Every structure is written in structure tokens, then in C-alpha cells.
């Protein structure tokens, strides 16, 4: 009896163990059948930004349970997919560590790996039907630098350096943003992470909130973003791109003082401002007394370019004129005393400013009237001159290095300064009488004007800084033998009014 009593519990234990094994086997079989019947679906990805070596968590359904039971497929556009085993899975969650082999699929910019977006699928008993959408696909950066490395070469190892790459963002903040704490320009677009971060903050600082408050960093597009190569974009609408405003900040700003109050931000049309009592921005870089204009005029007076000698043009007057007297009427009118305030509101936006103090606005040098392409597009009916004259440089007051600042210089060598050839409207102003609309700031045809053959005078108004035959076909560099360029191409003088 004693022996039988001892054997009975053992049999019960064995039976229970066998039953448990059968249940586990049945569950596994049921799970396998369920997975085999449905393709895996990814519904959530965490985190959205990480680096090689970190762990990614996927949530969804129809994953295979267990260790090393699923593959996560990483697909970068234009590259072959990379299959990585998930270390742990349930039916609705799996975790995968990003291996070193994934680094081989990262994009490179100027020989350096940058954060790259990967679309994902899961391969369990079946392959997921489609890759994740862009919004659900993570950005993966290169492996993090070891703590004993010195990313910025300042002889302070990373673990002791709060900003390893000197982009003005703390390493702790970069970890949250997903940017590379060891690379100042994570997306390789030649604009540092800190500048893009601050510009996004500025752009997100809306004016309609009541009461107005400075809003947090947005982190997504369409804002300047250090994880997207977007330096050619103009986010704040002042015509200057992110790269151009960054360049102006680097050369003429104070990067050493940090990211507060950028002198040029791609989140502000008026980067020079103060905040009113309601927290809203009030532009305060005034057109009257603008320091850069004063600097240019002072240089021009000293160098002998404030007053210039101009030849007569087809019967119109010649003589000595002030550099600002574009219409050659012998006086500098009030509207000519401010060279840059194009909209007449009394304050200067970033594009209206003249940061290199050469007498030409930022807009004109970067995207406007000091580009040959501007004239060919604006006056498409005129033949372009056969010499491809170069544009001026936004950040160099003397682009050709001859000692003459660009506004007083003469790109086409016709002895008419660049600043006097910027606008046919300004050159014609005062001569057209009722055709000049001061409110609109342009020439318009009056009701009694001959719309078929409007008055082409004054002849000197047909300016073009990239054609030495306009407005003076007798200039020292206009060819004696005429060609297919204006005005010898037969294009009409009334193009002055376009």
C-alpha cells in the first residue's frame, strides 16, 4: 500500500506534464495555422527614428510566436531588401535589433552615411502583403559613435562632451530628435542640425494663437528638418532658401552665441523683430537709415561712384547723375532714397536686405534681377546677348574682385552701373505721366493710350544688365556688326513696359 501510495502522485505529475505538453503543442499548431492563414500586418513602429544597433518594436497581428520565428524585411528605395530575424515575437508584437549589415544600405552624402528611410514587411509563415507607408516607416541612422570617441576633435571624449558634433544641439536632445549626435549635418544637405531645428521652431511660432505662445519644435515636414535634405526649399516665403539664409547666418551672424534670435532664419520673413506686449512679432529693421545702405553709399562717395557719367541714349539726356537716379531726371526722389524697400512698408524683410552692402538686395542677387535667367524669362520676346555674363554673389560685395562693389559695378561693361539697370519701370518713371501707377508700383497703359503702339520713350529705360546694347546701342561694348540679340533682333521698344 505504501509503495502504491507513493507511485500515485508520480503518475499524476507525469500525466499533468504530458497534458501540458499536448496543450503547448496544440497552441503552437493553432498559432502556426492562424499565421499560415493570414499575412502579417504592421500597425505601429517604435521608435520612428533610431540608429543601427538599437532595437525596433513592431505591433500588428498575425506574427509567429517565439524567438527567431519572424524576419523583418528592410527596404530602401533603389536597394535590395535586407532580411533581419526578430529576436522575440508574440502574435501581436515583435522586437528586432538593427544589425551592422543594415548600415551597408544607408544613403551616403559626400562619402558619409546619413539617416535613411526604410519601409518594412514581416515574413512569418507568410509574407506581409505590402511594405509600410512612408509615415509608418522608420528613419535609420548610422551606428552611434562609441563613448570614448571624440567626434568634434576637441580632445573631450563624447561621454564628457554635451554636444559631440558642435551643431548647437545637446546630445540628449539629438537622441530624442533622431539626429546623429556625432555629425553636425545629419541629412547631409550642408545645413547644420541646430540651424534647421531653430528655423522649424521659428516657423511654428504662429501668430493667431490667443494668447500667443512660442510653440514646441514640430519635428515633421513641411518644416525645416535635419533628417531630410531640404536646403533648397524656401520655407518662410521670403524667396531665400534654407541654405541661403543659413549661409548669411554663418557669414554675417553670430553662430558662437547660440541659436537664439538668428539674424537670418528660414522660419521668419522678418528675422529682425521685437515682440510686442501680446507676444507677437513686430518687424523693426527700418528702411530709412538702413545701415547697410548707408555703408554702400559711403563707400560709393569715397570711391567716386556716387555720381556717374552717362552717355546720351537715342536723344535722351546724358551727363552726370546720382547713382540712385535710375530715371535720369536729375533728382533723387524720395522713393529713390531707399534702394531696397520694394513693397514700401517701411521695414525690410530678409530678401529686401543687402547683407553684403553692395547696393543690391539679397533677393536680386539670389533669385532676381542680377541673374541672366530673370531677364530671359521676363522678356522672352527679346534675343539674349551672345556673351553669357556672370551673376553677382549674394555674400560677396565685390564678386569679380576688381575693388568695385557689385551695385556700382557693370556686368556688361556698357558704362551703366548695375543698380541703374535693375528695372525698366524705375528707369521710365516720371516720363510716362498717367501711365505710372504709384500705388501698384509699375507702369500701366492709361485708358487713352494706344495699346497697339504705346509710346516707347524714354529710350534709356530699356535697360538690361546683361546686354551692352541695352539701352545704349552705341556703348563701347555693343558690337558694331549687329546680331540676333536685342535690340538688333527687331524686338519692339515697348518691351520697356512689360
Confidence of residue 323 (pLDDT cuts 50, 70, 90): very high
Phi–psi pair at 423, nearest 5 degrees: -145, 125
Kindly state the percentage of the chain with pLDDT values over 90. Answer: 56
pLDDT at 406 over 70: yes
Domain-embedded: residue 278: yes
| Shared domain check, 484 and 409 | yes
- Lowest mean pLDDT segment, chosen from 110-124, 268-282, 483-497: 483-497
Comparison of pLDDT for 379 and 347, the residue scoring more: 347
Q: Where are the alpha helices (DSSP H) in 107-239?
A: 171-177, 193-203
Instruction: Flag the least confident range among 131-140, 240-249, 359-368, 457-466.
Output: 457-466
Q: Is residue 163 part of a domain?
A: no
Q: How many structural domains comprise the chain?
A: 4
Is a pLDDT exceeding 50 seen at residue 3? Answer: no
pLDDT at 293: 95
Residues 303 and 351 in one domain: yes
- Alpha carbon of residue 262 to chain centroid: 15
Task: Provide the pLDDT for residue 88.
Answer: 92
Asked whether residue 238 is assigned to any structural domain, the reply reads yes
C-alpha 462/C-alpha 264 separation (Å) is: 35
pLDDT tier for residue 457 given thresholds of 50, 70 and 90: low
Chain segment 181-226, per-residue pLDDT in tens: 888 998 889 999 999 999 999 999 988 888 888 888 998 889 999 9
Kindly state whether residues 62 and 134 are assigned to the same domain.
yes
Do 98 and 194 lie in a common domain? Answer: no
| Mean pLDDT over the full length of the chain | 86
- List of E strands, 381-486: 436-437, 442-443
CB neighbour list of residue 4: distance below 8 Å, 6 or more residues apart: none
Assess whether 274 and 341 both reside in one domain: no
Predicted confidence band of residue 151 (pLDDT cuts 50, 70, 90): confident
**How high is the pLDDT of residue 343?**
86
Predicted TM-score (pTM) of the model is 0.76
| Residue 454: pLDDT over 50 | no
Please tell me the predicted confidence (pLDDT) of residue 431: 60
**Domain boundary pick from 245, 261, 284:** 284
Answer yes or no: do 445 and 359 share one domain: yes
pLDDT: which is higher, 491 or 416: 416
Q: Residue 432: is its pLDDT beyond 70?
A: no
Please compute the mean of the pLDDT values over residues 247-272 and round it to a whole number: 94
Residue 152, in any domain of the structure: no
What is the pLDDT, as a whole number, of residue 12?
57
Is 170 within the bounds of a domain? no
Q: Does residue 160 belong to any structural domain of this protein?
A: no
Tell me the pLDDT tens digit for each residue of 33-68: 444 568 999 999 999 888 899 999 999 999 999 999
Do 296 and 373 sit in the same domain of this protein? yes
List all residues 6 or more positions away from 368 whose beta carbon is below 8 Å from its beta carbon. 239, 361, 374
In the block, which residue shows the cell 571624449? 157
Which grid coordinates are listed for 103?
548600415
Could you tell me which residue, 483 or 338, shows the higher pLDDT? 483
Interval 340-358: pLDDT, tens: 888 889 999 999 999 999 9
Express each pLDDT in 261-308 by its tens digit: 899 999 999 999 999 988 889 999 999 999 999 999 999 999 999 999
Residues 325, 242: one domain? no
Give dist(CA 146, CA 359) in Å, integer.
50
Query: Does residue 153 lie in a domain region?
Result: no
Based on the fold, state whether residues 476 and 361 are members of the same structural domain. yes
State which of 85, 107, 141 marks the end of a domain: 141
| Cell numbers at 112, concatenated | 558619409
We report the CATH number of the domain holding residue 89 as: 2.60.40.10
End-to-end CA distance of the chain: 118
**Both 29 and 111 in a single domain?**
no
pLDDT value of position 379: 87
Domain residues for the domain of 64 are: 41-141
Over 80: is that where the pLDDT of 149 sits? no
What is the DSSP code string of 478-495?
A: S-SS--SSTTTT---GGG
Are 225 and 196 in contact by the 8 Å Cβ rule? The answer is yes
Task: State yes or no: pLDDT of 6 exceeds 70.
Answer: no
Nine-digit cell string for 6:
507513493
166 domain-assigned: no
Residue in the structure block whose three cell numbers are 542680377:
370
Per residue in 7-39, pLDDT tens? 445 555 454 555 455 444 544 454 444 445 689
Rounded distance, CA 269 to CA 369, Å? 20
DSSP for 42-62, please give it. Answer: EEEEE-SEEETTSEEEEEEE-
Cell matching residue 172:
540628449
* pLDDT-based confidence at residue 238 (cuts at 50, 70, 90): very high
User: Quick one: 445 and 333 in the same domain?
Assistant: yes
Please tell me whether residues 354 and 392 are part of one structural domain. Answer: yes
Amino acid at each position: 500500500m505504501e509503495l502504491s501510495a507513493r507511485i500515485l502522485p508520480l503518475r499524476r505529475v507525469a500525466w499533468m506534464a504530458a497534458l501540458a505538453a499536448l496543450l503547448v503543442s496544440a497552441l503552437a499548431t493553432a498559432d502556426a495555422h492562424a499565421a499560415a492563414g493570414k499575412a502579417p500586418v504592421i500597425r505601429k513602429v517604435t521608435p520612428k527614428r533610431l540608429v543601427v544597433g538599437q532595437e525596433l518594436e513592431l505591433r500588428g497581428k498575425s506574427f509567429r510566436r517565439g524567438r527567431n520565428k519572424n524576419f523583418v524585411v528592410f527596404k530602401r528605395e533603389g536597394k535590395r531588401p535586407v532580411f533581419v530575424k526578430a529576436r522575440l515575437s508574440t502574435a501581436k508584437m515583435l522586437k528586432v535589433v538593427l544589425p551592422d549589415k543594415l548600415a551597408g544600405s544607408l544613403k551616403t552624402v559626400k562619402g558619409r552615411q546619413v539617416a535613411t528611410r526604410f519601409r518594412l514587411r514581416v515574413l512569418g509563415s507568410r509574407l506581409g502583403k505590402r511594405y509600410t507607408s512612408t509615415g509608418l516607416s522608420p528613419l535609420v541612422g548610422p551606428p552611434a559613435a562609441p563613448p570614448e570617441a571624440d567626434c568634434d576633435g576637441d580632445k573631450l571624449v563624447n561621454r564628457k562632451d554635451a554636444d559631440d558634433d558642435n551643431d548647437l544641439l545637446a546630445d540628449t536632445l539629438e537622441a530624442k530628435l533622431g539626429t546623429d549626435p556625432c555629425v553636425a549635418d545629419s541629412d547631409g544637405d550642408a545645413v547644420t542640425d541646430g540651424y534647421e531645428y531653430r528655423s522649424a521652431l521659428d516657423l511654428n511660432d504662429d501668430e493667431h494663437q490667443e494668447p500667443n505662445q512660442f510653440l514646441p519644435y514640430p519635428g515633421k515636414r513641411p518644416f525645416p528638418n535635419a533628417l531630410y535634405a531640404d536646403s533648397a526649399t524656401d520655407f518662410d516665403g521670403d524667396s531665400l532658401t534654407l541654405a541661403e539664409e543659413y549661409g548669411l547666418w554663418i557669414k554675417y551672424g553670430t553662430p558662437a552665441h547660440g541659436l537664439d534670435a538668428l539674424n537670418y532664419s528660414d522660419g521668419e520673413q522678418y528675422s529682425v523683430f521685437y515682440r510686442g506686449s501680446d507676444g507677437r512679432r513686430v518687424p523693426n529693421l527700418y528702411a530709412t537709415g538702413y545701415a547697410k545702405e548707408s555703408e554702400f553709399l559711403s563707400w560709393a562717395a569715397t570711391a567716386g561712384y556716387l555720381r556717374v557719367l552717362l552717355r546720351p541714349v537715342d536723344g535722351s539726356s546724358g551727363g552726370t547723375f546720382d547713382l540712385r537716379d535710375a530715371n535720369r531726371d536729375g533728382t533723387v526722389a524720395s522713393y529713390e532714397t531707399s534702394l531696397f524697400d520694394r513693397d514700401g512698408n517701411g521695414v525690410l524683410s530678409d530678401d529686401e536686405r543687402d547683407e553684403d552692402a553692395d547696393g543690391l538686395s539679397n533677393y536680386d542677387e539670389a533669385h532676381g534681377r542680377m541673374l541672366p535667367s530673370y531677364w530671359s524669362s521676363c522678356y522672352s520676346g527679346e534675343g539674349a546677348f551672345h556673351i553669357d555674363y556672370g551673376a553677382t554673389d549674394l555674400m560677396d560685395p565685390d564678386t569679380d574682385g576688381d575693388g568695385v562693389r557689385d551695385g556700382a559695378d557693370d556686368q556688361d561693361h556698357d558704362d551703366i552701373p548695375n543698380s541703374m539697370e535693375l528695372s525698366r519701370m524705375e528707369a521710365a518713371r516720371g516720363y510716362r505721366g498717367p501711365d505710372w501707377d504709384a500705388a501698384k508700383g509699375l507702369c500701366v497703359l492709361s485708358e487713352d493710350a494706344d495699346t497697339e503702339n504705346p509710346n516707347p520713350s524714354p529710350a534709356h529705360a530699356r535697360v538690361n544688365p546683361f546686354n551692352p546694347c541695352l539701352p545704349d546701342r552705341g556703348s563701347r561694348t555693343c558690337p558694331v556688326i549687329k546680331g540676333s540679340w536685342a535690340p538688333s533682333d527687331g524686338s519692339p521698344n515697348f518691351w520697356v513696359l512689360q
